[in-house]
Structure 1
Amino acid sequence: MMDPEKKQRMLEKIEQRAAERKKMRKIFLIITGILFAIVLGLGIYAYIFVTSALEPVDETSEEIVKIEVPLGSGVTTIANILQENGLVQNAKVFKYYAKFKNESQFQAGEYELMKSMTLDELIESLKTGTVYREPVFTVTYNEGWTLEQIAVRVEEKTTHTAAAFLAKVNDPSYIQELAAKFPTLINPEEMLAENVKYPLEGYLYPATYPYFEENPPLTLIIEQMIEETNKYVVQYQDAIAANKWINTPHKFLTFSSLLEKEATGTTDRATIASVFFNRLAEPMPLQTDPTVLYALGEHKDRVLYKDLEVQDPYNTYQNAGLPPGPIATAGATSFEAALSPSKTSYLYFLADKDGKNHFAETYAEHQANVAKYINTQYN
C-alpha cells in the first residue's frame, strides 16, 4: 500500500502539471490571437494603403504640373518622377499597376499633367504624349554605326560639319571633362590608350533623339547620346564588374560592339557571345571579320584571306583578346547578350548567304559548314 504522504505528493504533481498545461494552452491562444490580429491589421492596412495609392493625388486640383521624361526611361524611373512631382501617391504602386496592366511603352518628352488624373489617365498620357514642347527636329542614329557614320549624319541634319564633330570627340581635354560628368562610364586611361582609334567610338548610344533648338551645340548632341549609354552602364555596373573578360565599361562596350556587328538577328547574339567567351577562355583569337574591316577602314561584302593579314591592333585574327576599343555603337539587345550569353561549347560560327548563322564545336565541323554554306556560294 502506497504511503499517504507519497500519494499526496503525487496528486499535487499531477494537479500542478494539469495547471501548467492549462496555462500553456491559454498562452498559446493569446499568442495565436495576437498574431492573427497583427496579420489581419497588416492586411487591412495594406488594402487601405494600396487602395488609397490607386486614387488621384487630388481629385479637385486643376494645377498643371510640367515634367520631363528622359529618353530611355523605364517604368521605375517614370514612377519616381511622378511621385517626386506629386502626381502619384506612391511610385511602387504606380510601377506595379503599370506592369499589371502590361504597360511599358512610354514616350520620352515633356508633359503637362494634373494631380487630379487617375493612374489610367497618367499611363495613357505617357503613352500617347500630352507633350507641350514639340522638338524642332529629330535625328536617328542607327545601331552598328561607327563614329564616322554618326559624324556624317550630324553634318546632314545639323549646322555642324563632320570634321568638327570628329575633332570634338577626339579631343583629350573633352574626354577628361566627360569623365567628371560620367565617372562610372568614362575612363580616360582606357579610352585614350595608344592603340584606341577614337576615344568615344561605341560610347554614343544609337537611338532617335529630339532637339528643341534649331542649332543644338555639339556638346549637347554628343552628351545626349553618352547619357543614354551611361544609363545602361550604371544599371549593369555590378554585372560588368563581375565578368572576368569584360569587367570595365570600356571592355563591355567593346565586346557588345562585336556582337552588334556580327549578329544578323536578335536571337543569335547570346549564342555568338558564348562563342567569343569560349574563345577567350581557351585562349583562342576571336577572329571576327568586322574587326578586320574596322582596321581596313572600309566596308566589304566579303573579307579576303589577304585582308586577314593586315597589321593593325584591331585585327582579331592577328591579335589575341579584345580589340583596343569598340568598333561601333551597340544597342540594348547586344548589351544584354554580352552579360547573359548562352551556355554552349561552340568555338566557331559563320553566316550563310541568307544571313543565317551556323555554329560548330570543332574545327572539322566548322570546315564542313564552310564547304556547305560558303564555298558553294562563290563556286
Structure 2
Amino acid sequence: MENGSKKEAMFEKMLEQKKEVKIVRRIVFVLTLLIIIGGLLGGRAVYKYINEALQPVDPNSEEIIDVEVPIGSGLTSIAEMLEEKGLVRNAKIFKYYAKFNNEAQFQAGSYGLTKAMTLDELIESLKTGKVYRTPIFTMTVPEGLTLDQIANVVEKRAGIPAKDFLKYVNNEQTIADLMGKYPKILTEDILAEDVRYPLEGYLYPATYPFYEEKPSVETVVTTMLDATSSNITPYFAYLESNGRSVHWLLTFASLLEREATATTDREAIASVFYNRLEKGMMLQTDPTVLYALGMHKDRVLFADLEVDDPYNTYKYVGLPPGPIANSGKSSIEAVVDPAITEYFYFLADKEGKNYFAKTYEEHLANIAEHLSGD
C-alpha cells in the first residue's frame, strides 16, 4: 500500500511538471503574442507592465532585505516570498522567467537581497548561495599596510577623508560597539595600555566590492572586519589548543608580513622568530623600529634602534604590544605552520633575497658577503 502511494505521488508530480512545462510554453507564446499585438495595436500598457515586471523594483535602493529560504522550498513559494518582500514586482513573471531560462534549482539559506537587484542577479544569488551584484566600485587594501596607510586608501577609493576614518576607528564608543559585534575577534587585548591603535592589524587586506556610491565609514570598517572574522575563524581551534589569542596571531603575522620579501620565506622567518622567542632572545626586527618611530624609511640606522618604545623589539623581549600592520593569509598560515629550522638570524640583500644563519658568526659572514657594498 505504501509503494502504491509513492507511485501515485510520483505520477502526480510528473503530471504537475508536465503541466508547468505546458504553462511555461503557453505564457512565452502569450507574452510574445501580446507584445506583437501591443505593438500593432498600440497596446503600450501591456508591454509596459511586462517590461516593468522584469526590471529591479528600485534601482537606487541600498536597503538590505533578509530572506530565509527554507529547505525544500519550490520555485513557486520562493517567487511568492520575493514578491511579498518587495524584491520582485510579480511572482508569476519571476517564476516563469526563471523556468524559461532553465533556472529552478535554488539553495536554501539566509540571504541579504536588495530591491536594486535584477531578476538575473536574484536568480544567480539564490542558485549559488551568494549575493550576486555588480559593484559600483572596488577598493583594494594590500597586505602590510598600517592603519594610517589604509586611511589613505579609503580616502582615495571611498571618498571618506583619512582624518574622519582615523577618528572613527580610534573612537572609544566605536571600539566598544565593534567589540560587541565581533567578540571573538576584537577582545580586551586591543585595549592594552601599550597598544597604539586598537584596530591596527585587524582590517583584513583584500579587494572589497561596494554597492553604493558613497558608503559610510561604518560600512567600510565593518566590511573589512567581516573579512577578518571569516579569515581568522578557521584558526580558532589551533589558537585554543595552543593557548594563543587572535591578538597574538595577528601580531606575529604582521611581523612576517613586513619582513618577508617572498612568499616562500615566511615559514623560515617564522621559524627564526619562534626559535628566538623560545630562547628568550629579542626579535630585533627592523619593521618594529620603524613602527615605533612612526616613520617609513628604506633603511633603519643604528641611532633608530635606540628609540625607547614598547614596539621596538631591539629594546624589549617578545612580540610587540600589537600588530604593526595588516597581514594576509600567507603570513597567518606561516605562523600556524612554520618551517622547522635551527636558524636564529636572517638578512635580506638589496634584491630582497633572504639569507639565514644558525649562529651569530654565520650571520656576520652573510652580512660581509651580501651587504658589504651597502
After TM superposition, the score normalised by the length of structure 1 is 0.66
Alpha-carbon distance change, 153 to 369 in structure 1, aligned in 2, over 3 angstroms: same
The structure that has the greater radius of gyration is: 1
Q: What CA distance in whole angstroms lies between the structure 2 residues aligned with 1:250 and 1:201?
A: 10
SS, match of residue 334 in structure 1? helix
Q: Which runs of 5+ in 2 are unaligned?
A: 1-16, 25-53, 55-67, 75-100, 107-123
Deviation at 1:320, TM superposition (A): 0.6
Structure 1 residue runs of 4 or more that deviate by more than 2 Å after TM superposition: 58-62, 81-87, 112-117, 128-133, 241-244
Aligned residue type for 2:162: A
Alpha-carbon distance change, 183 to 85 in structure 1, aligned in 2, over 3 angstroms: farther
Output aligned runs, 1:1-379, within 5 Å. Answer: 114-116=103-105, 133-187=133-187, 189-243=188-242, 247-375=244-372, 377-378=373-374
Alpha-carbon distance change, 130 to 144 in structure 1, aligned in 2, over 3 angstroms: closer
Aligned residue type for 1:179: M
The Cα offsets for residues 15-48 of structure 1, whole Å up to 9 and x where unpaired, read as xxxxxxxxxxxxxxxxxxxxxxxxxxxxxxxxxx
Q: Which residue of 2 aligns with 1:55?
A: none
Q: Which residue of 2 aligns with 1:108?
A: none
Alpha-carbon distance change, 224 to 264 in structure 1, aligned in 2, over 3 angstroms: same
Deviation at 1:86, TM superposition (A): 6.4
Deviation at 1:285, TM superposition (A): 0.5
Aligned residue type for 1:242: S
Q: What CA distance in whole angstroms lies between the structure 2 residues aligned with 1:129 and 1:85?
A: 15
Q: What CA distance in whole angstroms lies between the structure 1 residues aligned with 2:102 and 2:140?
A: 28
Deviation at 1:197, TM superposition (A): 0.8
The Cα offsets for residues 262-311 of structure 1, whole Å up to 9 and x where unpaired, read as 00011010111111011100010010000001111111111111111111
Q: What CA distance in whole angstroms lies between the structure 2 residues aligned with 1:85 and 1:252?
A: 41
The Cα offsets for residues 326-350 of structure 1, whole Å up to 9 and x where unpaired, read as 0001001111111000111110000
Deviation at 1:233, TM superposition (A): 2.0
Aligned residue type for 2:228: T
Alpha-carbon distance change, 343 to 214 in structure 1, aligned in 2, over 3 angstroms: same
Q: What CA distance in whole angstroms lies between the structure 2 residues aligned with 1:131 and 1:183?
A: 25
Deviation at 1:241, TM superposition (A): 2.4
User: How many residue pairs get matched?
Assistant: 272
The Cα offsets for residues 61-109 of structure 1, whole Å up to 9 and x where unpaired, read as 98x9xxxxxxxxxxxxxxxx9996969xxxxxxxxxxxxxxxxxxxxxx
Question: Is the Cα–Cα contact under 8 Å of residues 184 and 233 in structure 1 kept in the other structure?
Answer: no
SS, match of residue 240 in structure 1? helix
The Cα offsets for residues 205-240 of structure 1, whole Å up to 9 and x where unpaired, read as 011101111111111100111111111222101112
Aligned residue type for 1:361: K
Q: Which runs of 5+ in 1 are unaligned?
A: 1-57, 65-80, 88-111, 118-124
202-211 or 169-178: which moved more? 169-178
